[in-house]
Amino acid sequence: MKKDTTTSNPLLCDPVTGVCEIPASGNSSNLEGITSKQKPVKVIYFTDPICSTCWGIEPQLRKLKLEYGKDVEISYHMGGLLPDWSYNSGGISKPSDVAHHWDEVSQHYKMPIDGDVWLTDPLPSSYPPSIAFKAAQLQDEQKAISFLRTLREMVFLQKKNITKWEHIEQAGQLAGLDTRQLKTDYEGKAKELFDQDLQLARKMGVRGFPTLFISNTGGDTELIYGFKPYMNLENGIRKVYAGAAKNDYPKDGKSLFNIYPSLTLREFAELGEISFEAADAALDTLVKEGHISVSNTKNGAIWYKK
């Protein structure tokens, strides 16, 4: 039987396909007008602050930026995963149904996620933090990415309802944003920018997250849909730009935390190119030496540079 995409539940992320799917709304993958003018490779990344599979590919994206950042520009766009709760489909009809699902996804991707936020302080929508991200982008692209990372840590690890302004403001402060301007833009022009992202997603036929369109200046495009190993992203870049230069970066623990001030076990292992066992031992040593601190959740931990 053909799948009825009109009732696909966006919060029921399939670990097998690696996709948080939304109803299909287009069939075009035209990148005309949005190719990079600065770097030879442009990645159009459609995501959402509460997309659990997008949290799962954070290690791949972080490694990609370190190895291919000189040739690759990643453009973040919000896709609108959860407009509201006005539906009943896919075995999820209310926030509490998501809790167990997130716990399962956490184990599959080996990234810590505590689904209890859906029991203690459930989110009514993913639109407010998405709009907040667009507001952050108006100030500074890199700070906006740090802001998005903090929002994800808040919702996935700290069980915080990131639709609430108090948490959005705190994330903005941690990212070094002007929070007064953030609020002004959040309540104003960022809403229009978010609508533009939704329109772009429909135009390009995005039907789930994560979706990455990798293109060169000539318009040749490779599509990475859902959770994929790092090799798939690397191959996609090389297909559109054979001259992509792989950059060597420091892989010792202190250096990695100087680059990324928060890392999960899987991120530390993949960026350091070591086993989980070796990563765990190295992180424990760094904690004992006072360089980093650890925050534990029921489904894993995350380490922070002090």
- Domain assignment present for 150: yes
**Is residue 257 domain-shared with residue 205, that is, in the same domain?**
no
Average pLDDT over every residue of 66-85: 96
- Whole-number pLDDT of residue 22: 65
Higher pLDDT, 295 or 87: 295
| The residue count for the chain | 306
Distance set, CA 210 to CA 10, 60, 83, 214 (Å): 12, 12, 17, 13
- In this structure, what DSSP letter does residue 263 have? E
pLDDT in tens, 43-61: 999 999 999 999 999 999 9
236 in any annotated domain: no
Residue 246 covered by a domain: no
Residue 112, domain member (yes or no): yes
Res 197 pLDDT > 50: yes
Give exposure, 13-30, as e/b (b: 16+ Cβ within 10 Å).
bbbeebbbbbeeeeeeee
61 shares its domain with 115: yes
Residue that is last in its domain, among 209, 242, 263? 209
Give the residue from 148, 181, 209 where a domain finishes. Answer: 209
- Kindly report the CATH number assigned to the domain that includes residue 270: 1.10.10.10
Please compute the mean of the pLDDT values over residues 23-47 and round it to a whole number.
Answer: 63
199 and 114 housed in the same domain? yes
Which pLDDT value is given to residue 90? Answer: 61
Choose between 85 and 137: higher pLDDT. Answer: 137
For residue 98, give both structure tokens: 């998501």
Q: Are residues 90 and 186 in the same domain?
A: yes
At residue 38, the pLDDT reads 83
In this model, does residue 32 exceed pLDDT 80? no
Percent of the chain surpassing pLDDT 70: 88
Do the domain assignments include residue 174? Answer: yes
Q: What is the mean pLDDT of residues 20-46?
A: 62
pLDDT, tens digit (0-9, with 9 covering 90-100), for 147-167: 999 999 999 999 999 999 999
**Based on the structure, what is the number of domains in the chain?**
2
pLDDT on residue 93: 77
The span from the CA of 253 to the CA of 259, in Å, is 10
Range scoring the smallest mean pLDDT among 83-87, 105-109, 246-250? 83-87
Residue 283, domain member (yes or no) = yes
pTM, two decimal places:
0.90
CA distance 139 to 134: 9
Sorted by sequence, the CB contacts under 8 Å of residue 122 that are 6+ apart come out as 95, 96, 98, 161
- Whether the pLDDT of residue 41 is over 60: the answer is yes
Q: What amino acid is encoded at 303 in this protein?
A: W
**What pLDDT, in 10s, does the model give residues 234-277?**
999 999 999 999 999 999 999 999 999 999 999 999 999 999 99
First-to-last alpha carbon distance for the chain, in angstroms, is 54
Same domain as 277, residue 159:
no
Residues 275 and 200 grouped into a single domain: no
Q: Tell me: do 201 and 264 sit in the same domain.
A: no
Strand boundaries in the chain, DSSP class E: 20-21, 41-47, 72-78, 208-209, 211-216, 221-225, 262-264, 292-297, 300-305
Q: For residue 57, what are the domain limits?
A: 34-209
Give the torsion sign (CA, 28, 131, 136, 212): negative
Using pLDDT thresholds of 50, 70 and 90, give the confidence band for residue 219: very high
Rounded to an integer, the average pLDDT of 56-85 is 97
Same domain, yes or no: 262 and 193:
no
Whether residue 127 is contained in a domain is answered as: yes
CATH number at residue 169: 3.40.30.10
In a domain, 8, yes or no: no
Residue type, 130: S
Same domain, 114 and 192: yes
